[in-house]
Chain A
Amino acid sequence: MTSSTASILEISGLSVALDLPGTVRRVVTDVALTVHRRKITCLIGESGSGKSVTSSAIMQLLPSGLRIDGGRVLLDGHDMASATPEDLATLRGRVVSMVFQEPLTALNPVMRVGTQIGEMLAIHRPEMSARAREARILELLGDVHLPDPPQIMRAFPHQLSGGQRQRVVIAMALALEPALIIADEPTTALDVTTQAQILHLFRELMTRHDSGVLLITHDFGVVAEVADFVYVMQNGRVVEHGAADAVLERAEHPYTKSLIAAVPGFRFRPELPVADTALVRAEGLDLTYVTRSFTSAKREIKALDQVSFHIDPGETLGVVGESGSGKSTLAKVLMLFEKPDAGTMTVFGREIGSLRGKALNDYRAGVQMVFQDPFKSLNPRRRVGHSLTEGPMANGVSRSEALARALDLLDRVGLPAEAMGRFPHEFSGGQRQRICIARALAMKPRIVVADEAVSALDVSVQAQVLELFETLKRELGFAMLFITHDLRVASNICDRLIVMHRGRVVETGLTRDVFTNPGHAYTEELIRAIPGGLAMRTQGVLAEQP
């Protein structure tokens, strides 16, 4: 083995225990794993599989309550278990560095981006002059393809977009050219085009710096796109591992197979008969956000620019596009959270800008929303039953009827009746999203607005929730505005699509037509950027095309 492909990380028999009152639970059991230089090794599994705990264990950064109770972590020849706090401080950053999942929270909000990158150098290379440090920061920002490094360097995290922040986190991780980069779901929070760029960046930088990458993900699309080796984790154990191609094509373990199967392929829906009257009809919506900066300079962002669309009864209209394309603003206008500057929107036959009093109240009851984050969209101190009955009761439904309706909906979304008396934190992410859906449906809406409603969920859970939407829609007959950045998800649930880019609708049409025969360069770009690209697409409908 040449030095350039030598192993940089070797884990053997690693176990991590969680100390509970009176008992000890193993969250990671007997994990063995190797990462080579110039190779991307993927660790894949769903939430709770122990993949993030494993990565924290490598860094010796386990959350309190968790402790390593067996095994060995050899990092570039250093045994991490016997490292002193001083050794660890030296190893962290210099030999191994980490890219975290949430670019929104991984950076210190009150420290300039350049200072945070420079801190790496200040800690590990105190002899470096301030001028040399600044030059290095600028170089790093350029390396991760950020525009205008001098300006980004002086920016605070909140002034950057999610993709830019993730690049900053990566630049920080690369500052000392570490031998190993651990990236924990580095692209989960990003949209497809940004994700594709970041994954590409990893490969480029790894080769340039002769380092190894351990990439933690729940998305087999990402594995297909970049991985050289893959380890599949379930319930704290590695159930299958090997070269990425081999595992993808000839998965042996049933869990691996189910994970691969759960990745939504392109499955298109049969065409709906054309309806006579649209439920929603919007014409020429304009909405511009004006922000004032510190120096009182005005900045205008066109969130909606001449947007027109319609939704037929019983139809699911998908809205796809990157973050900042105006998708969520569209939902806000439909929900009456925002008022457009120009244009008309007619819903249920009435112009919604003119609604007042009872009509307005009825409208709000008739249009319900399911939000992205099931952890934040339920009141943590309120029992599920309370959340489900509050809306109907505020709209004049009797208590007994509201309760009956809530129980019926819980049953429909696949939760037991006991859930009524429990609090949101007692449920998993997927279960919470089911509660959120039940809460929206309790109002008997005619339109459900789902804003990235499955994006925060594991793939297998995602598939279940999509299935649930499908069933409920058939049974209850509501129309949906389904916002997503994930084109595979869109193809599974949407009858028609509108593609948004910088506030404009660049393409609209039947889902199958948009994907198989995109009419706009931006749509093509979105489709190309889907991780896993061709390998994943062969499982979908596209394979049927000659």
Chain B
Amino acid sequence: MIRLIVLRLLAAVPVMLVVATFVFLLLRLSPGDPALVVAGEQATPEQVEQIRRDLGLDRSLPVQYVTWLSQMAQGNFGASTLSGQPVLDLIADRVEPTLVLALVTIVVTVVIAVPLGAIAAWHHDGWRDRMVMTLAVVGFSVPSFVIGYTLMQLLALKANLLPVQGYISPFDDPLQSLKHLVLPAATLAIVFMALISRVTRASTLEILGEDFIRTARAKGGNENRILWKHALPNAAVPVVTVIGLGIASLISGVVVTESVFNIPGLGRLTIDAILGRDYPVVQGLILVFSLTYVFINLLIDITYLIVDPRIRY
């Protein structure tokens, strides 16, 4: 296990290097001059040139690349070209809302979607199955901003049950924080519930046809025991995969929801950085998101080891 973790972390180094290079080239080759943005509209050409020199943008690409890499290797992600704050500080400030939102969403999703999927598989082709699958199709096809605005309209504006927008840290005021989280979490969760319940259903359905299910029945096990103790644990591997990837894409993909609900998380930071051509921040964000993916994939692999003893690396 420890061997696995060390090996996987080592394997992450070249992955991150490729990502870093790709990000570097992508931003340098895209149109738009950050020096112009920083200098503002009234700046003289000399001022712009000065800023360009300060930012190191006048040097050749390979030189910029090497400088940039060596700084990164020392943990220096640079400073925002807009605010001048260190990139890492900026990101650290915005991590909490995104992380809290992602965790709440995934917990809600798993708690609801996995049992739904299992029950649908159990009542295969029955009305419960059709209902769950219909909901899954709807949940999957409606864009999240539509769901977001609809929920906001109904529950916040009309019924006045929940706050419309904003974010409050659970460390400051747990109850208010939860109230603020309900709408965005529900918005995000609906899509993932659709996905995870479908995967759980398919996986469980396959397992229910296995010989050991018949064995369990021949032992005199009742149907509850068969579904929850024998079928579901065996169906876990694909479900774990989807949940893991769900978490990763939640952390890096909450842009729309954070905008709709005005949450100061990483998604908002990403949008602001891209619009402001804030290269260092965009680079930092993409690297953080990639690292999240690598880390979560490692977590998925470790979880495999726990849920299925047959798996060895």
Contact = CB atoms under 8 A, between A and B. Distances in A.
A158 B219 contact: no
A119 B221 CA distance: 8
Interface centre among B229, B308, B309, B310 (most CB of A within 10 A): B309
A128 to B, nearest CB: 15
A102 B210 CA distance: 11
Given A156-B309, A158-B310, A119 B219 contact: yes
Interface string A72-112: 00000000000001001111111001101010011111110
User: What's the interface size class on A, roughly?
Assistant: 20 to 34
B217 interface: yes
Contacts of B310: 109-110, 156, 158
B214 interface: yes
Contacts of A106: 211-212, 214-215
A406 interface: no
B21 to A, nearest CB: 34
Contacts of B61: none
A123 B219 CA distance: 8
Interface of B: 1, 3, 210-212, 214-222, 225, 229-230, 233-234, 236, 307-310, 312
Contacts of B312: 292-294
A100 B215 contact: yes
B143 to A, nearest CB: 36
B211 A102 contact: yes
Contact of A105 (B210, B218, B307, B309): B210
Contact of B220 (A100, A111, A124, A158): A124
**Which residue among A89, A156, A169 has the maximum number of chain B CB atoms within 10 Å of its CB?**
A89
- The 8 tightest CB contacts between A and B, nearest first, are A93-B220, A92-B220, A105-B211, A98-B218, A156-B309, A108-B212, A93-B219, A89-B220
A59 interface: yes
B212 A89 contact: no
A109 B233 CA distance: 10
B212 A107 contact: yes
B234 A109 contact: yes
A296 interface: yes
A123 B230 contact: no
Contacts of B229: 111
Contacts of A119: 216, 219, 221
A543 interface: no
A172 interface: yes
Given A98-B215, A111-B230, A123-B220, 10 more contacts: A85-B222, A89-B221, A92-B219, A92-B220, A93-B219, A94-B220, A108-B212, A123-B221, A123-B225, A172-B219
25 contacts: A61-B214, A61-B217, A88-B220, A89-B222, A92-B218, A92-B219, A97-B219, A105-B212, A106-B215, A108-B230, A109-B308, A109-B309, A110-B233, A110-B234, A110-B236, A110-B308, A111-B229, A111-B233, A119-B221, A120-B219, A123-B221, A123-B225, A172-B219, A294-B1, A296-B3
Contacts of A90: 220
Contacts of B308: 109-110
Contacts, number: 80
Please indicate which of the listed interface residues A85, A93, A110, A123 has the most CB atoms of chain B within 10 Å of its own CB.
A110
Nearest to A292: B312
Residue from A91, A109, A169, A292 with most neighbouring chain B CB atoms (10 Å): A109
A59 B218 contact: yes
Nearest to B1: A294
Contacts of A85: 222
Interface in A107-144: 107-111, 119-120, 123-124
Contacts of A100: 211, 214-215, 218
Contacts of A296: 3
A158 B217 contact: no
A54 to B, nearest CB: 15
Contacts of B212: 105-109
Contacts of B236: 110
Residue picked from B3, B221, B307, B312, most chain A C-beta under 10 Å: B221
B221 A97 contact: no
Nearest to A115: B229
Given A102-B211, A106-B211, A109-B212, A97 B234 contact: no
A102 B225 CA distance: 22
Contacts of B230: 108, 111
A156 B230 CA distance: 14
B8 to A, nearest CB: 15
Contacts of A293: 312
B68 to A, nearest CB: 39
B218 A97 contact: yes
A93 B214 CA distance: 12
A423 B308 CA distance: 34
A524 to B, nearest CB: 35
Contacts of B218: 59, 61, 92-93, 97-98, 100
A107 B211 CA distance: 8
A433 B133 CA distance: 40
Interface in A285-340: 292-294, 296
A108 B310 CA distance: 11
